[in-house]
Amino acid sequence: MSLTTRSHPTVALLRQPACIRSRCHALLALAEQGALPHFSLHLECMDATADYVVDTIRQNYPDLRIPYHARWRHFAAGGIDRWGRIAATLAGEQPADIARRRFDLAIVAVLLDAGAGPRWRYCDTRGEVLARSEGLGVASLEAFSNGLFSADPDDPLRVDAEALESLDAARLGHAFQHAERSNPLAGLEGRAALMRNLGAALRAAPEFFGAETPRPGGLFDILAADARPRGLPAENILALLLEALAPVWPRRLTLHGENLGDVWHHPLAAPGGPGEGLVPFHKLSQWMSYSLAEVLEDAGIPVLALDALTGLPEYRNGGLFLDLGVLALRDPSLSRQSLPVDHPAIVEWRALTVALLDRLAQAVRDRLGLDAAALPLARVLEGGSWAAGRRIARELRPDGAPPLTVASDGTVF
């Protein structure tokens, strides 16, 4: 199946990880010239940053057996193998059936992961109190286990269009223990709308999701059929997600009548080129790709060229570079504001994060004596930059908040 021919060539270009990387590195090149409006660059701090990340990796993974930066890590928050317990109830199912269920779960859980806000907490069935990504991950897993996303009470461990189309903020908020005054989940209405958008997208595209019971797990069959004898290129996963899930995203920027998703304006991006002034990130879709790569490999399909995908431009990775001095705000007052995700400073921060993660990854590999095959970017992120970003945030601020506050609508960060 061709995954690009339906889209205008410029839209197809903006969905390619090579375009994400090239446009972000072009902005980094401007930062090296001191030519960006919102951030100054201090590469003399990169060595210390790489040392800090390596120290974090050795604390968390002393054997250097680092998994991918995937949603599955959050399901095991507190060292509890929650997915493993659910999987044990599926003994006897065919591997492809289990993979479809895992696609269902991972896609919904990633879409529900955008920043929870500093006050929200989730208490799981064992009494563990979790926040931020871990809390959102466990809340998603337990909602899945309880059948929130399935219209069939006899088959709760799935996600289908019918259940998603009827999911409102009240029911989602109840599952996530949202309370407006005492436990507010940021972007709740946006999350519920995203789930309904997903349901509508499943219904509208039987070629991707199946006709009889449309579900995200239908994408497993497409990718399995697309795999070469050696395996499946990681770019194929992202291409399929961006094509199949394009209708899911809120309509912010459009081009030639197509919804661009996680693509934003920056005045210095791609001057004179196609899609001038636009910087793509596709953060949630790339993280979803890393999460699905794990499922595919567990199902016996090797994922090739994982480093064709980029680092993730979110507040932990970006916060690492701010907190350790690689980046500095030209206007420090921005750190005391809540900025919308389309603010030029946030777009610039995210772009610099993507490009700097490539440089950081190589510096980390050099220190550990590993190459990109042994330590792909997906493992650097997990080991790695995301964990180090959270660690330095906790060292510098009592609540562990990021150094820049983004007003989350529940669909990006």
What's the pLDDT tens digit per position in 132-144?
889 999 999 999 9
Strands (E) across 3-95 are located at 39-41
In the predicted structure, residue 176 carries a pLDDT above the cut 60: yes
More confident residue, 126 or 7: 126
Burial class (CB in 10 A: 0-12, 13-18, 19+), 375: buried
Structure confidence at residue 384 (pLDDT) = 94
Does the pLDDT of residue 2 top 60, yes or no? no
Predicted pLDDT at 249: 83
pLDDT tens profile 262-321: 999 999 999 999 999 999 999 989 999 999 999 999 999 999 999 999 999 999 999 999
Q: What is the pLDDT of residue 44?
A: 98
Any domain includes 125: yes
In a domain, 412, yes or no: no
**Does the pLDDT of residue 410 top 70, yes or no?**
no
Residue 408 CA, chain-centre distance (Å), reads 14
The stretch 183-209 carries a mean pLDDT of 94
Q: What is the pLDDT of residues 221-244, one digit of tens each?
A: 999 999 998 999 999 999 999 999
- Cα separation of 220 and 97, whole Å? 9
The CA-atom distances, in angstroms, between 21 and each of 258, 281, 282, 303, 370 are: 22, 9, 11, 20, 23
pLDDT in tens, 379-399: 999 999 999 999 999 999 998
Model pLDDT, residue 1: 43
Q: Domain range holding 310?
A: 9-407
Half-sphere exposure of 156 (CA within 13 A, CB side): 11
Q: Which of 243, 223, 303, 225 is closest to 3 using CA atoms?
A: 243
Specify if 328 maps to a domain: yes
Number of domains in the chain: 1
Residue 411 pLDDT exceeds 70: no
Rg (CA), the chain: 20
Domain contains 54? yes
Q: Which helix (H) or strand (E) holds 142?
A: helix 132-145
| Mean pLDDT, the chain, integer | 94
Amino acid at 411: T
Q: What is the DSSP letter of 403?
A: S
Q: Is the pLDDT of residue 209 over 70?
A: yes
Does residue 262 form part of some domain?
A: yes
The verdict on residue 3 lying in a domain is: no
User: Is residue 264 within 8 Å of residue 281, measured between CB atoms?
Assistant: yes
Does the residue 17 lie in any domain?
A: yes
* Alpha-carbon gap, residue 120 to 185, rounded angstroms: 5
Partner residues linked to 407 by β-bridges: 340
Report whether pLDDT(198) > 60: yes
Q: What is the structure's pLDDT at 4?
A: 42
pLDDT value at 3 more than 50: no
3-class SS of residue 166: coil
- Tens digit of each residue's pLDDT (9 = 90 or more) over 19-78: 999 999 999 999 999 999 999 999 999 999 999 999 999 999 999 999 999 999 999 998
